Amino acid sequence: MSEHFPPSSYETNLFIDDKFVAGNGGKTFTIYNPATEERICEVAEATSEDVDLPVDAAARTFPEWSNMNASQRAVPMQKLVQLIQENADELARLDSLCMGKPVELLKKMDVPACAGVFSYFAGSALHILGESSLSSSNFLNVTLRQPYGAVGLIIPWNVPMIMFAFKVAPALICGNTVVLKSAERAPLSSLKLAALIKEAGFPPGVVNVLSGFGDPTGSALALHMKVRKISFTGSVGVERIFELGGKGAAIIFQDADIAAAARYTHYSINHNSGQHCQANSRALVHKDILDEYLRELARLMDQVTVGDPSDPKTFQGPQVDKKALDRILSLVIEGAKDGKLVRGGRRHGDKEEIFGPVIIVNTFEDEAGALAEANSSVYTKDFERAIRVAKALQAGDVGVNCSVPLRALDMPIGGWKQSGIGSELSLHGLSMYTELKTVFLKYGTDPTTMSSKWHCS
């Protein structure tokens, strides 16, 4: 595949202050195609010293960018939407080269999602609003939402374009400037998006993109004294440094539409080779319908087309690399010791949390037992039960008779407990990139009836 898409046709350097530059001392790292295990290219690796330059650029240009009218900030963002759509083929091929997702699925899902998120937040430019209150005599009190300044954004490799948009779009429209660190496994689409950002006409220094590893690049960005906010999405291990990490399971009751439940959970765990944080990697199925659910799930699993990501007929490509594949296989082997392996369990072709196309099915007998074990989605035809369980699940997103979608840009997605802090998408996601300030505006003379203890000093 890479023979038809030579390295000379895409960018591999760091994007700092509107220029593509080599890293400090010319340090690089290698990107491999997970479908063929062949070397794709060498990408510039940002050292801790390289982090200073983009942060300084972002801090320098922040006053200009943040003081623009919000509608002015939306102009280059709308141009970027158009450019993303025009470059859909290249963006899809870059991500497929790096992390193995089929090109056709990337063109149908990830590219439109990336463009859609930028379009949504460009349209939200005039919705960055505070509140006002006249509840205190002789005071007009208001809240202001103001951008942080230079913010650091760290994204994962499993949906690079989507996560790029999730973080960059709201940060920019609020008036922040950004330094983004891409995932070392899939940096190429982020660099292409950087080139499109330059073409769209964003001022120099507003967006900077670094390639590199969590240590030292990510650590240097997160600890930088000029970075006012960090937004991070990544592995459970790293998230636990930030006291985060984790995901839940689907609960399938005995009155559920079994075919639909199997279809949704099957798609959830096989889409993107199971490499996404909302995948239903566990299913809790009522004991009375277990056999029927497993038969339907196995039938759907047998229909999955696994193969070359460049083939339009392929639904499921490879895992992101051999390390990920080996880890999944080892977990399947361990799991088979305690349970029954229904389908699969071995590598296709010759080539704690399972981040892959593996679903673990357990049973439950009553609602209370299910709620003690799961926190994701619920399948039932009982309306009262659906509402009751949805309220009881300790999760930021709950699907009722569906897996949690990523299509509703006007609704927030986010986690509770180990799954994260804050939300992305919607106006709630917008507010994550502003600081809240209250201003107390005194006018007139204090009423004589007001107790002196309430007077402002």
pLDDT above 90 covers a percentage of the chain that reads 46
Please check the confidence at residue 339 and state whether its pLDDT lies above 50: yes
Q: What is the mean pLDDT of residues 232-255?
A: 63
CATH label, 250-414, candidates 3.40.30.10, 1.10.10.10, 3.40.309.10, 3.40.50.300: 3.40.309.10
Catalytic residue of the set 64, 131, 243, 292: 243
Identity of the residue numbered 5: F
| Of residues 403, 400, 404, the one with CA closest to residue 389 | 400
* Half-sphere exposure of residue 17: CA atoms within 13 angstroms, side-chain side: 13
pLDDT tens track for 300-314: 887 777 777 777 777
The residues with which 250 forms a beta bridge, in sequence order, are 283, 377
Q: How much is the pLDDT for 345?
A: 57
pLDDT tens track for 89-105: 999 999 999 988 899 99
Q: How confident is the model at residue 242 (pLDDT cuts 50, 70, 90)?
A: very low
Task: Give the tokens for residue 102.
Answer: 């089929």
CA atoms of 388 and 376, how far apart (whole Å): 14
pLDDT tens track for 31-54: 999 888 899 999 999 998 899 999
299: three-class secondary structure by DSSP: helix
Give 256's contacts (C-beta < 8 A, 6+ positions apart): 289, 379, 380, 381, 401
Give the predicted TM-score (pTM) of the model. Answer: 0.77
Q: How much is the pLDDT for 70?
A: 93
pLDDT tens track for 251-262: 888 998 988 888
pLDDT tens track for 361-381: 888 888 888 887 766 778 899
Q: How confident is the model at residue 234 (pLDDT cuts 50, 70, 90)?
A: low
Which run of H or of E encompasses 65?
Answer: helix 48-66
Q: How much is the pLDDT for 349?
A: 54
Q: How confident is the model at residue 420 (pLDDT cuts 50, 70, 90)?
A: low
By the 10 Å C-beta count (0-12 exposed, 13-18 middle, 19+ buried), 155 is classed as: buried
Identity of the residue numbered 397: D
* CA 158 distance to own-chain centroid: 9
154: three-class secondary structure by DSSP: strand
E strands in 158-201: 177-181
Please check the confidence at residue 415 and state whether its pLDDT lies above 90: no
Catalytic residue of the set 277, 296, 402, 424: 277
Q: How confident is the model at residue 181 (pLDDT cuts 50, 70, 90)?
A: very high
Buried b (16+ CB within 10 A) or exposed e, 106-137: bbebbbbbbbbbbbbbbebbeebeeeeeeeee
CA atoms of 454 and 457, how far apart (whole Å): 9
**174 a catalytic residue:** no
20: three-class secondary structure by DSSP: strand
Q: How much is the pLDDT for 278?
A: 62
Q: How confident is the model at residue 272 (pLDDT cuts 50, 70, 90)?
A: low
pLDDT tens track for 347-360: 555 454 444 566 67
Q: What residue ranges of the chain are covered by domains with CATH 3.40.309.10?
A: 250-414
Q: Which residue has the higher pLDDT, 26 or 226?
A: 226
Cα angle for residues 226, 230, 232 (degrees, 5° grid):
150
Please check the confidence at residue 174 and state whether its pLDDT lies above 90: yes
* Average pLDDT score over the chain: 83
Q: Of 141-155, 306-320, 321-335, 405-419, where does the model show the most confidence?
A: 141-155
Q: How confident is the model at residue 344 (pLDDT cuts 50, 70, 90)?
A: low
Q: How confident is the model at residue 395 (pLDDT cuts 50, 70, 90)?
A: confident
Q: What residue ranges of the chain are covered by domains with CATH 3.40.605.10?
A: 2-245+422-436
Residue with tokens 């502003």: 434
CA atoms of 420 and 433, how far apart (whole Å): 16
Q: How confident is the model at residue 3 (pLDDT cuts 50, 70, 90)?
A: very low
- Fold adopted by 2-245+422-436: Aldehyde Dehydrogenase; Chain A, domain 1 (3.40.605)
**243 a catalytic residue:** yes
